[in-house]
Structure 1
Amino acid sequence: MKRRFMIIFLSTLFLCSSIITSGCATKEVEDLAVVTLWSWDRVTVNGTDKYQIWTRLMRPPKKDNQDTQTTGSKSSDILLTGTGTTLQDAIMDFMSRTPRSPFFGQVQAVIFGERFAREKAAEAAEANLRYPEERPGDFYFVTKGEASRLLQMEPTAASTLSKQIKKQAETTALNAGLSCGVTAREFDEWLLSPDRDAVLPEIEPVEPKKGETVPPSVIVRDFGVFQGAHLVGWLNADESRGYLLITQKLSNAQIPVYFIKDDKMLTYWLTGFKSKIEPQTVDGNPSFKIIIQTQGIVNENDNLDLTSEEVKVLEQIIAAKVRELPLKTIAKAKEYDADFLGLMEKFHRYQPSAWAEIAPDWRESFRRASVEVEVDAKILSGGMVSKSFHIKS
């Protein structure tokens, strides 16, 4: 057995060495158009509605006269588009305009234009499920207006725009309480789900602030809300944070929550949170209790020296302030008639008999469901309010 394993290992090693030394692998890579960003949109051309895709492709470094890669040459992205009466037509139009074979293994994000998300998101999901080139780990986003303008932006403090967007989706937006990433797999599952709706993080252009020396770029913040396979509206900053508090678990956050104590504005830096949804049946109707636990620090210096009893009072004030956020989100979910919070999904899982009774008209039951929110806020001892420094003037 060991001898057989060694033969296979040496054969594989020899094959890999042959490919590298012959240069075949290099030539194959050079024949690929490496796609890093992708967008779907709906546009009107000469009075006719069409599909439009935009791609951001990685351009390889320039070569010298000996056809070898020039050291120190810098890669840059190129933009390419395709338009057609069907999704496949748009893809074929894009492919016909590049002499290379598109390679989707480096796609970091797919962006839906607003009109496409309102009208045709189901077709994108179906294409994603049918074509093996699409990766389930790609991040999906939605934007207000057309998506093409976002692919034309430049990165801020990142080597490529695709890396910046991926980083924002994975950690930056979530830790700041702005939004969170949604993968193709998650979005497709939500569209196929019989008991919940979808959200996508919103991605928008952002202009540099006065004095900054960076180009206009993008930022991931807030969410677009779907009912079924159609975008129906947007969450604002407070509603987006409420969504995160209900649906996410986080331990590395830096999210400011402002509150008033003794006519002074203080900040509770929310560093971590987790939640639990408890579904029940009350008089035949769904009912939910959402328990949210948070921890954070209060580090303003306002000549306040808090005792343990005063800390408890402060925690109650903070809990009431934090509670306002998920309540706003729940109200918006009922306004849009879209359960993107996954409440009915929990009800379906833990109350299957009751679900069977309401399944044909579960949205009506969601609108009528009572939802109680309980927040337990803790102030970490290392960050309690302390006395101010008295510096001589």
Structure 2
Amino acid sequence: MKRKGVFLLALTLLVLLTGCWNRRELNDLAIVMGTGIDKIDGQYVISAQIVNPGAVASTESGKISQSAVATYSMRGSSIFEGIRRMTTETPRRLYFSHIQVLVLGEQVAREGIKEALDLLFRDHEVRPDFYVILAKDTTALQILSMIDPLEKIPATKLYKSLETGEKAWGSIVSMRLDEVIADLLREGVEPVLVGATLKGKVRTGSTDISSQKDSQPNLLRYQDIGVFKKDKLLGWLNEEESIGFSYITDKVDSTVEEIPCDKKHKIVVEIIRSKTTVNGKVKNGNPQIEVSVSAEGNVGEVACPKDMSNPQTIYKLEADVEKRIREKIVSAIHKTQKQYHSDVLGFGQSIYHNDPKGWKKVKEDWDSKFTDLNVKVKVDVRLRRTGKVGNSFIPFIKKD
């Protein structure tokens, strides 16, 4: 009996102390921070930006000896094939669990992004919380190969710039992988993705650290929002239309509105809070949408001879800001309705939630219904502060 007990104990220990049978040593992995997918001449071009932990540590300690990242690319007839082919060049196995951003080329987006999203969403090693962006007027490889003076890892620059810009400027919208897939599956809404473009002369990063220190960096900026129909890119909203989109979809944390007071001067208002409600319903077989925006702001810049201590001046300025916001919202609605016929604004989703029975009546013909949809827009703006001073000193500067 005692021998049987010892045997059972030994068997239990064998089960519990098997160790990490599928462990992978860090030195055997190439940690991918950013991935790009382009399509050229009918083939996919897969890019992977791999971090060099030793180089990152050395730059933090002040000893610069090698590049913090290496960007590899490979062609393939499929995305999966391109990733596997890349192992013929990389000295380590690609590891995608820490990916921060996926960059999709414009050609890939216009032909359809479902294959790229399915691969990364299906892989058990990949977390679906990374950002998805578009390469506008350039390639995903060039976006990943840019040099930035503040961030050693370009993919981290893309990640942080997206989060920072979204909080401070209304034309930038961040979308994670799971959010994009959700918009592809939900009724009454189509997905959008923000575009990234390079300004100035396009040049790729060099592994020569001295040349990186002396060279001028590429200027990468997020610009315009890509409008999709299902999984295919149709076109772009410009900056003002993108801000209008953000107001409608309640994605404005903060932004700036400029109000001209004459041909040369203007007043700048900082929007510090914004809340949008979209109410949708079907009445007599016709869908109806009402967009209500409530915003608060501060006066940020005054270059006009206006008496900011006069309440009437503030009331007039509030009305002008309301008009400006309404114009941006209407322009976004008009372009998505008349040019793209794509409900990226989520009006159908609003009807689905607020009037489920009405949605069932119009969803089969929603594309044509959306194009002719009558949308009421209400904007209310309240200015809270004018800054440390009231009137501007600019009109009182002494003249020769």
When normalised by structure 2's length, the TM-score is 0.82
* 2:264 is the counterpart of 1:261: no
1:61 aligned counterpart, secondary structure? helix
Change (3 A) 1:31 1:71: farther
C-alpha deviations, 1:8-47, integer Å up to 9, x for none?
A: xxxxxxx9xx99xxxxx9x911111010110111111xxx
**How far apart are 1:72 and its partner, in Å?**
3.4
- 2:28 partner amino acid: D
Change (3 A) 1:385 1:308: farther
Structure 1 stretch displaced more, 110-119 or 275-284? 275-284
Query: Hey, what does 1:76 align to over in structure 2?
Result: 68
Residues of 2 paired with 1:124 and 1:28: CA distance? 28
Query: Hey, what does 2:191 align to over in structure 1?
Result: 198
| RMSD over equivalenced CA pairs, Å | 2.6
- 2:364 partner amino acid: P
Query: Hey, what does 1:362 align to over in structure 2?
Result: 366
Query: Hey, what does 1:126 align to over in structure 2?
Result: 118
C-alpha deviations, 1:341-391, integer Å up to 9, x for none?
A: 111111111111111111212111111211111110111134498223345
Residues of 1 paired with 2:160 and 2:230: CA distance? 28
* 2:36 is the counterpart of 1:39: yes
1:304–1:385 CA contact under 8 A, matched in 2? no
Change (3 A) 1:308 1:85: same
- 1:219 partner amino acid: R
Query: Hey, what does 2:13 align to over in structure 1?
Result: none
Change (3 A) 1:370 1:71: closer
Residues of 2 paired with 1:40 and 1:301: CA distance? 46
Q: Among all aligned residue pairs of Structure 1 and Structure 2, give the percentage whose two residues are the same amino acid.
A: 26
Query: Hey, what does 1:65 align to over in structure 2?
Result: none
**How far apart are 1:262 and its partner, in Å?**
6.3
Change (3 A) 1:127 1:250: same
Query: Hey, what does 2:82 align to over in structure 1?
Result: 90
* 2:299 is the counterpart of 1:302: no
Counterpart selection for 1:336 from 333, 340, 346: 340
| Aligned 1:317-332 pairs, distance under 5 A | 317-332=320-335
| Aligned 1:362-381 pairs, distance under 5 A | 362-381=366-385
Change (3 A) 1:73 1:384: closer
Query: Hey, what does 2:354 align to over in structure 1?
Result: 350
Structure 2: state its 5+ residue gaps: 1-16, 56-60, 202-213
- 2:140 partner amino acid: A
1:301–1:385 CA contact under 8 A, matched in 2? no
Query: Hey, what does 1:30 align to over in structure 2?
Result: 27
* 2:249 is the counterpart of 1:247: yes
Residues of 2 paired with 1:228 and 1:275: CA distance? 25
Change (3 A) 1:266 1:105: same
1:373 aligned counterpart, secondary structure? strand
C-alpha deviations, 1:275-300, integer Å up to 9, x for none?
A: 11011223211111101111212231
Residues of 2 paired with 1:129 and 1:262: CA distance? 53
**How far apart are 1:71 and its partner, in Å?**
8.5
Query: Hey, what does 2:147 align to over in structure 1?
Result: 154
- 1:43 partner amino acid: I
Residues of 2 paired with 1:217 and 1:311: CA distance? 38
Change (3 A) 1:225 1:249: closer
**How far apart are 1:392 and its partner, in Å?**
4.8
Change (3 A) 1:224 1:380: same
- 2:84 partner amino acid: M
- 1:386 partner amino acid: G
**How far apart are 1:323 and its partner, in Å?**
0.7
Structure 1: state its 5+ residue gaps: 1-14, 20-24, 63-69
1:346 aligned counterpart, secondary structure? helix
Query: Hey, what does 2:170 align to over in structure 1?
Result: 177
2:247 aligned counterpart, secondary structure? helix
**How far apart are 1:214 and its partner, in Å?**
4.3
Residues of 2 paired with 1:186 and 1:195: CA distance? 15
C-alpha deviations, 1:248-275, integer Å up to 9, x for none?
A: 3444x2x332223366522222222111
C-alpha deviations, 1:183-216, integer Å up to 9, x for none?
A: 00111111122321000010111239xxx98411
1:301–1:387 CA contact under 8 A, matched in 2? no
- 1:72 partner amino acid: K
2:144–2:155 CA contact under 8 A, matched in 1? no
Count matched residues. 356
Query: Hey, what does 2:292 align to over in structure 1?
Result: 291
C-alpha deviations, 1:78-125, integer Å up to 9, x for none?
A: 111121112221121113322312111221100000010111301112
- 1:121 partner amino acid: I
Counterpart selection for 1:188 from 159, 181, 191: 181
Change (3 A) 1:228 1:249: closer
2:48 aligned counterpart, secondary structure? strand
Query: Hey, what does 1:235 align to over in structure 2?
Result: 237
Change (3 A) 1:384 1:59: closer
**How far apart are 1:163 and its partner, in Å?**
1.5
Residues of 1 paired with 2:258 and 2:215: CA distance? 30
Residues of 1 paired with 2:349 and 2:127: CA distance? 25
Change (3 A) 1:383 1:280: farther
* 2:86 is the counterpart of 1:55: no
When normalised by structure 1's length, the TM-score is 0.84
Query: Hey, what does 2:208 align to over in structure 1?
Result: none
Residues of 1 paired with 2:312 and 2:46: CA distance? 60
1:196–1:345 CA contact under 8 A, matched in 2? yes
